[in-house]
Chain A
Amino acid sequence: MTDQHPLPGQPDTSRRSFLKTGLGGTLLLSTISVSAGLSGCATAPAGRIGAIDSRMDASYQFQFLSRDDIALFEALLPAILAGSLPDAQNQRRQTVASTIERIDQGIVKFGPPNQRELRKLFDLLNFPPTRMALARTWSDWPSVTATDADAFLQRWRNSRIGLLNNGYVALTKISNAAFYGYADHWHLTGYPGPPAWMTESLPQFTSA
């Protein structure tokens, strides 16, 4: 647990507010000792998840996201990416799974300070008391429907509390960038990708 030491003379807002911000639109939470109460949560990176107990590609090694975080994104992505995910169940699952892997890859490069902020955000969303209090989502994420997930996202987007708005932007931005920024999904935005006349003549594409 990182302890925060407010400077003398400054109001100790970090103790009271649940959320403090960080990330380019990513959010974070603060010092309520979320992690201390999280014994029930799996906050360790999920590492390699066997194909048997999940839909994940067993060859991918998670470096940041925990099993609970993965469940959180499995619940949120169908709402965040509504209209863009494939209809067929199998393909849909695979797309969600590979998007979560790319979210993990992106967060690894965020570096330690913003990772700490995200850890707080995800812990808060995964810890049942704070999930219910702040996300107002009553069931655990694996049983949340896309409609409920959408309602949660709308609440955070429309909240008058800036910190929740920030949480909304953080969750949607990392998801949208990992999804729409990925070559297989460029076509959904109408972006044709790097022009062939470039890739056909540039050495980094033409030579081994």
Chain B
Amino acid sequence: MSMNDPIARGLAAGWNITDASKLTEDRTVEADVVVVGTGAGGGTTAEILARQGLSVILLEEGRLYYQKDFQMDELTSYANLYQEGMSRATADGAIAILQGRCVGGSTTVNWTSSFRTPAETLNYWSQNLGLSELTPDAMAPWFEGREQRHNMSPWQTPPNLNNDLLRQGCEKLGYSWQVIPRNVKGCWNSGYCGVGCPTNAKQGALLTTIPGALDHNAQLFHGLRADRLVRNQDRIDHLLASAMGADGITPSGITVTLKAKHFVVAASAIGTPGLLLRSQLPDPFQRVGKRSFIHPVNATVARMPAKTDPFYGAPQSIYSDEFNFKEGTDGPVGYKLEVPPLHPAMAAGVVAGHGQQQRDNLGQLPWMQSVIALLRDGFHPDSPGGTVSLRDDGSPMLDYPITDYLWQGLKKAYLTMAEIQFAAGAEAVQAVHLDSGWYTRWSEAKTAISNLPMKPHRVRLFTAHQMGGCSMGHDPATSVVNGFGEHHHISNLNVHDASVFPTSIGANPQLSVYALAARNSTRLAQKLAPSG
């Protein structure tokens, strides 16, 4: 393997990494801090604590995959790098859930868009939810710090045509658009971010904070699932974890007991509430799992006269916030407009269909352009989010009912996206909906889309942004942790991931997770600092 790869080098240099599938007997291990999950939140936490001289153990349910494994192949990547082999969905199956399950978490497969938490969102939290210490000014240094750590800056290379058409459509219609900042270093503009960056350009947790933690003597267990936090009075005494077998999904029967002074859970939305529910920690107001958000996403596809090759080039480089906060933070639902990369399996999964019709749709992939709308859920009383609960086998599941308030936003978003695509020169546009045909004129599309039934399953919905379920707040009656991620009832437990957000973010969440985890870990490090 190439010794230019930092992970291969670290392994050769003796990083303390244990593949739990190789364990042959039960073990007990101990550290100052145990961190559950190695994604945006977990990686940041582990690096900051380890640099302060604390001993840290990281555990990750998924396996360690790195450059040698990133072969630009959808089927193997979806099977190995994503939760439930890319089959995760909401309880009724109506919304597909894209979420990472590997070292680096979702940052290993994300599309590198790097936005600060919008000022409107932070102001809403500080003014309406009592999180007065999280103002845009107070958070600015934390965003700056993480922008540097992950090399985030606006994308300088011209956008691929898939993205540029969003820009062109917005220009024509007088809608605002911007260039997306990305967390990359020496990016090859390839388009394969979603299947694991093959060039090591993406500066996700896998190539930044995880190596940073391991260089400072942290220990990483992968293929090890946190099952239950075991409590003694108001403290977590230890964590019970199950090793996965060689297939990465079937428990091998080996268990690991992890002891620590402090525990940080960063298994993300769905995962973190799941672990807390399994652990039956005190939750007098039954807040765990509630108010789970997803930025519900719908899409339109267009056939363009020129080749778009939507599988190549930085997947996301242009966005429009024209409709995001236009009607107020808590008015009718706002949405951010972006573009998704389209490879064959992704396209086949997004556009439902079969037979010759499906063949014809997929056959025009090189001319296809797609726009997605990410709805800003959680700011309005009619958008209370979903609920995470446990299945019989203890695995977490998200129930997310779609309210009329959201259906209205989704309908409006379909119309906006189709209008933009026609303005950008589309020959035909189709709403990603079981009842939509291909429309060749905007006027035709407008009437037809206005009449589409807005019902689960018929409207094809997705999410790659899971948030909430362990809300932060001052009042234990409405939240699980405080503004520093500290659990209200357990003195040695923090939550440092996307599950603490009290509403959705209103932008792709990675930088929000990185920044808040950095702030809260810095405070935790001070608290736990080795004395002297």
Contact = CB atoms under 8 A, between A and B. Distances in A.
Contacts of A80: 354-355, 358
Nearest to A114: B87
Given A22-B93, A202-B198, A111 B249 contact: yes
B89 A25 contact: yes
Nearest to A79: B355
A181 B354 contact: no
Interface residues of A, number: 65
Interface stretch (A37-45, A52-60, A126-134, A172-180): A172-180
Interface residues of B, number: 68
Contacts of B133: none
B67 A204 contact: yes
B393 A177 contact: no
A183 B198 CA distance: 17
Interface string A17-32: 0001111111110000
B190 to A, nearest CB: 6
Interface of A: 2-5, 20-28, 79-84, 102, 105-114, 150, 153, 157, 162, 165-166, 168-170, 172-173, 175-183, 185-186, 188-191, 194-195, 198-199, 202-205, 207
A204 B348 contact: no
Given A113-B391, A162-B455, A180-B345, A170 B93 contact: yes
Contact of B2 (A84, A170, A207): A207
* Secondary structure call for the B interface: loop
B213 interface: no
Interface string B367-400: 0000000000000000000000001110101000
Contacts of A2: 392
A83 B356 CA distance: 5
A173 B391 contact: no
22 contacts: A21-B89, A21-B91, A22-B89, A25-B96, A82-B355, A109-B80, A111-B249, A162-B456, A162-B458, A166-B94, A169-B352, A173-B348, A176-B345, A176-B362, A180-B348, A182-B75, A189-B362, A194-B71, A198-B188, A204-B69, A204-B71, A204-B198
Max chain A C-beta neighbours (<10 A), residue from B86, B343, B457: B457
Contact of A150 (B78, B355, B391, B392): B355
- Main SS class of interface, A: helix
Interface string B238-277: 0000000001110000000000000000000000000000
A163 B457 CA distance: 8
B457 A189 contact: no
A203 B93 contact: no
